[in-house]
Structure 1
Amino acid sequence: MRCRKIKIIDITQELGKDTKIYEGDPHIRLEKFFTVDNYGYAVSKLSMGSHSGTHIDAPAHVISGGKTVREIPLNDLVGDCIVVEKSEIKIPQGTKRLLIKGSEKGEARISERHARILVDAGIRIIGTDALSIGNDAVHKILLSEEICVLESLKLNRVKPGSYFLCALPLKIDTDGSPIRACLIEGIGE
């Protein structure tokens, strides 16, 4: 049996005190709670907002009674994905997961018109390398249709094209969650 060669591209921002957060959100704090030297084992205390670093927005982020992270089908968060430049958003038919890159300044926002186009195209996951996909209206358009939003992805070294996406959140009953996201090349070849 011949093994396929795959390449995993980590598209997750590292969480730490220097991680950019949305203005007004809780700051990220990571501190040693127990240390190996003092207790024989290490435990850290982590404090942050549910939308810190690379994260997912669940419908409950802006929709009263909307699905929480725990309720998002994992099948939506794993599978074929297309990465496009913001300046050239073209959605191939049948695309369910779309990542938009092109915002080194964190401004890869989409308009309300683009959000409606994504809804009509049947997108299930939309992601961006910006801190936010768009304004409140954009979030409501997408999340009311249960289109999950991935924000603060690290796409600067990713070329536009087809990939396999894995973007799993913590299993928590809340409006958002940090995720560890990666793109995989070589699956299905």
Structure 2
Amino acid sequence: MFAPKKAPFKKKIIDITVPISPSTPIFPGDPEPSVENICTLEKDGFAVSKLVFGSHTGTHVDAPSHVLKDGPTVDNLNIESLMGQAVVLDFSRINGVLTDSILNKAYNGQKISESVSILLVKTQKSSFRKEKNSETSNLQSGESDKRMEPEESPENSVYLDAGAAAWIFRQGFKTVGIDSFSVDSLSSESLPVHHILLSNNVNIVECLDLSSVEAGIYFFLCLPLKVEGCDGAPARALLISYS
């Protein structure tokens, strides 16, 4: 656990959370998010909205129960392991698989002299965060703008392999985050990386927005919604810069 007096909260805060809206890109087959006005200021004197989205919508944390029978659910995760010193490695110029040797070379290239417990993998030149326009903001509840789908496919995605997952565990990382839909290949059905990481108590955070983040050391904070018995949950993720 970090010492509160040493936490750099007076430094620059970078929000690396993908916002949830009807236009948020989703993994094929996941529930489409919607925000519906139930009560309004004009009619009721107060505003209340109905929210509909999947447990893996936007920036989210995968719980072990996502892939493991009888695995812990998101409300039982160790929150301390989702905050602390983090290293961001930039692979935005690479396409395809990230192996243990690729991760190790990039990690050593950072010349890290302090303990880090969180690994964040930047893979995309573009971001999940899309510019809003009048047409998008006027989407009705339950509708989706197919033009807002991310330019990500099994052919051009960047992902980890089983060797990379094993390297992450051996290095002692407690959390790994990525700015794409999955730490596994999008075409994978067996999800070996998910299984290796989650079975070894390494948290997985997916769909981060690292578009404005440079490689380096930061303080990371990620708090998933405490949804009882659920396989994952959207989260607010922040980086705090030391410079």
Tell me the TM-score normalized by structure 1.
Answer: 0.91
**What stretches of structure 1 of length at least 5 have no aligned partner?**
none
SS of equivalent to 1:113:
helix
Structure 2 unmatched ranges of 5 or more: 1-7, 95-101, 127-150
What is the correspondence of 1:55-94 to structure 2 with a 5 Å cutoff? 55-86=60-91, 89-90=103-104, 91=107, 94=115
Counterpart amino acid of residue 142 in structure 1: L
Give 1:172's match in structure 2, choosing from 227, 234, 237: 227
Which residue number in structure 1 is paired with residue 118 of structure 2? 97
Match of 1:27 in 2: 32
CA distance in 2, matches of 1:169, 1:24: 22
Shift of residue 157, structure 1, vs aligned partner:
0.8
Q: Which has the higher strand share?
A: 1
1:138 corresponds to 2:193 = yes
Structure 1's consecutive aligned runs of 4 or more residues displaced over 4 angstroms after TM superposition are none
TM-score (norm 2): 0.72
Counterpart residue type for residue 182 of structure 2: S
CA deviation after TM superposition for structure 1 residue 183, in Å: 0.1
1:79 CA drift (Å): 0.8
CA shift in 2, pair 1:112/1:7, >3 Å = same
User: Does structure 1 conserve the Cα–Cα contact (< 8 Å) formed by 2:84 and 2:116?
Assistant: no
Alignment counterpart, residue 167 of structure 2, candidates 117, 120, 123: 117
Percent of aligned positions that are identical: 37
Candidates 2, 8, 17, aligned match of 1:12: 17
* Match of residue 156 from structure 1: 211
CA offset digits 1:66-125 (Å, max 9, x no partner): 111111111101111000013552345843100000224542311111111111111110
**Number of positions where the alignment pairs a residue of Structure 1 with one of Structure 2:** 185
CA distance in 2, matches of 1:166, 1:67: 20
Which of structures 1 and 2 has the bigger CA Rg?
2
8 Å Cα contact 1:11/1:154 also seen in 2: yes
Task: Determine which of 170, 179, 189 is the counterpart of 1:129.
Answer: 179
Contact 1:74–1:168 at 8 Å: present in 2 too?
A: yes
CA deviations on 1:114-137 (whole Å, 9 max, x unpaired) are 111111111110000011111411
